[in-house]
């Protein structure tokens, strides 16, 4: 029984699943738009939006210690070699989303993939 077990398994081991989510979120923040399957998009959308909210709230914080703590929290969730992603998230993406109350991502359906008929989507950050 899977009572209160959140998230999608995505037919992977735990470590592969964590790595996949981290890489997809990094690519979403770097390129601001990724083409992936609908299951993978659903798996990362919630976590990506939470990270954007953390960055937004950190930009509003008056205390420098809170800003550093927020950057470290996001960096720990994204794993190694995430300095460039964290910088872009806090310096470019979060200020653009400052007035937005939520819903920072958009999912557009693209239709099935040619090889295996997996439902493909375009996951992108909302501009306005």
Mind listing the pLDDT tens digit for each residue in 46-78? Answer: 999 999 999 999 998 889 999 999 999 999 999
Chain-centroid distance, C-alpha 75:
12
Low-confidence ranges of the chain (pLDDT < 50): none
Q: What is the CATH number of domain 33-125?
A: 3.90.1030.10
- Measured in degrees and rounded to the nearest 5, phi and psi for residue 33 equal -170, 130
Residue 106: its pLDDT value, please? 96
pLDDT at 61: 83
The domain locations on the chain are: 33-125
Q: What is the pLDDT of residue 1?
A: 87
- Distance between CA atoms of 97 and 105, rounded to whole angstroms? 11
């Amino acid at each position: 029984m899977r009572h209160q077990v959140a998230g999608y398994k995505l037919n992977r081991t735990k470590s592969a699943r964590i790595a996949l989510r981290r890489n997809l979120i990094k690519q979403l923040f770097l390129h601001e738009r990724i083409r992936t399957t609908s299951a993978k998009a659903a798996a990362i959308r919630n976590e990506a939006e939470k990270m954007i909210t953390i960055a937004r709230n950190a930009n509003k914080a008056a205390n420098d210690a809170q800003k550093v703590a927020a950057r470290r929290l996001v960096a720990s969730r994204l794993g190694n070699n995430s300095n460039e992603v964290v910088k872009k998230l806090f310096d470019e993406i979060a200020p653009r989303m400052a007035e937005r109350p939520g819903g920072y991502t958009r999912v557009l359906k693209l239709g099935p993939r040619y090889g295996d008929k997996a439902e493909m989507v375009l996951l992108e950050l909302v501009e306005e």
